[in-house]
Structure 1
Amino acid sequence: MHIGVVGLEKLEHMAVKFAKTFGTKVTVISTSANKKQEAIERLGADSFLFSRDPEQMKAAMNTLDGIIDTVSAVHPILPLLMLMKSHGRKLVAGSCIGGMKETQEMLDFAAITPDIEVVPMDYVNSSLERLLKLDVKYRFMLDIGNTLNKK
């Protein structure tokens, strides 16, 4: 099985980790060429596809069994569908089941963790400024516990 993961942000980095846990071949598809090293060396993707390079996109046509696309920004879907093997199908899905307990069981089973940056409450304002500048890797987590324990 060979899947493509569109983007490399919040959910997408977890999709790469989860797919690799199940032995799936993963190609990260991104509009940012500078994410290649991170995708392959840090997250373990098998390959990287720079979606703004027409030659790379053409060479990758009909190679994927599936695509995971959770990118919230408006982006063209047709070039991504062209990456799918023939006789594939499109499935748009979501899930309304699974709370914190089920999510934790899934993560425990796969033995993966999200990549986060823990930020003390004292830096919440600078964190918001960084968030507006898109200067965050995946997620910020506020360390409220240690802040409350100081007082």
Structure 2
Amino acid sequence: MSVATVHAFAAPAPKAPLEHTTIPRRALGEHDVLIEIRYAGICHSDIHQIREDWGEAIFPMVPGHEIAGVITEVGSGVTRHAVGDRAGVGCFVDSCRDCDNCRAGLEQYCTGSGMLMTYNATGSDGEPTYGGYSTHIVVDENYSVRIPEGITLDEAAPLLCAGITLYSPLAHWKTGPGTRVAIVGMGGLGHMGVKIAHAMGAEVTVLSQSLRKQEDGLRFGAAHFHATGDPATFERLAGSFDLIVNTVSANLDMDAYLGLLRTGGTLVNVGAPENPVPVNMFSLMFGRKHLAGSAIGGIRETQEMLDFCALHGIGADIEVISADGINDAYERVVAGDVRYRFVIDTSTLAAAATP
């Protein structure tokens, strides 16, 4: 391997600002590829994990699981990729490979060792995993995907989390012509849901707190845009939707949203609120409705998503930043001041090193 220590940005301790550092990358194994990272998306989950909102974490932490770049070296046994290929890495970099879910291409639901997260995890070698806020990453070829030429690398990076997180439930619940789909929230996740559901042929409605992003929603492909801050919205739209995808992490009134479903409809959650959410069982029983959850997607489905997005000209709406803007970007994400995903130009990582 030609790269052993690489530039990165890391949080040295919980809630600490990110700063320049260097990290080791493992030697290239037989089935590994070395990816020169060009762009890395900033996901809100990066912030949650640095702040230990989801439990004790591993520090120093190099976040980033929306990774897009170019393969510069391959192991002797690699068959899926070649030097020069555009490649991406998402939320996990390994799994047991042998459980029923892994064999079915549902590695994100691995019941063996569990999926190995791209960062804030410990690998089988006992070493911590470091994510995409870095210049290079070494990953097993089976856990990287090909980025088609129809998407620019900067707009492709957020697809590795935000894109697949929305594509997976939309595909699983058979979104297509004749279906009526509502996307709750239009942030980094939600704006991808609008674009993908529209490309699948659905009639798409955005349900957002206000009409502030209405113009964007219609531009992305929504046919309708409603403010959930207006109680009359829930009366007007009662029984309207086949599928509702909730992208927000706040505690919503699930009963109110279940009331928007048609008979047999599904409300699927991809956002993760910190506290339990109460549900009145009658909201499910009357109308044979379903309350579900979904988490990212497997490698096969992630590739399918990327190919679909390339075919339909779909990329994330992004704001590209340099490494020295990461901490400010975090504050803006928390404040909801981004349309709709920050993406780090990782070529700026080295320049951000302290002189």
Structure showing greater relative contact order (alpha-carbon pairs closer than 8 Å, 6 or more residues apart): 1
- State the TM-score, normalizing by the size of structure 2: 0.38
More strand by share: 2
Give the distance between the partners of 1:17 and 1:96, measured in 2 at CA.
17
CA contact (8 A) 1:49 1:57 kept: no
CA offset digits 1:96-147 (Å, max 9, x no partner):
7513x64243122233111121101233343234334332122211111255
- Residue in structure 2 matched with residue 107 of structure 1 by the alignment: 306
Instruction: State, as a whole percentage, how many aligned pairs show the same letter.
Output: 38
What letter is aligned with 2:213? K
**Partner residue of 1:69 out of 229, 246, 257:** 246
More helix by share: 1
Q: Which runs of 5+ in 2 are unaligned?
A: 1-178, 266-288
User: Whose Rg is larger?
Assistant: 2
Q: Is structure 2 residue 210 aligned with structure 1 residue 32? A: yes
Give the distance between the partners of 2:242 and 2:256, measured in 1 at CA.
15
Q: Is structure 2 residue 231 aligned with structure 1 residue 51? A: no
Give the distance between the partners of 2:189 and 2:334, measured in 1 at CA.
19
Cα distance, 1:75 vs structure 2: 1.3
CA offset digits 1:16-46 (Å, max 9, x no partner):
1111111100000011221222111x21100
Q: Is structure 2 residue 345 aligned with structure 1 residue 143? A: yes
- Residue in structure 2 matched with residue 3 of structure 1 by the alignment: 181
Aligned residues: 149
Compute the RMSD of aligned alpha carbons: 2.4
Of stretches 2-11 and 69-78 in structure 1, the one that deviates more from structure 2 is: 69-78
Of stretches 22-31 and 129-138 in structure 1, the one that deviates more from structure 2 is: 129-138
Cα distance, 1:12 vs structure 2: 1.1
- Residue in structure 2 matched with residue 131 of structure 1 by the alignment: 333
Distance 1:94 1:126, change over 3 A: closer
Give the distance between the partners of 2:250 and 2:233, measured in 1 at CA.
22
- State the TM-score, normalizing by the size of structure 1: 0.84
What letter is aligned with 2:304? E
**Partner residue of 2:294 out of 79, 85, 94:** 94
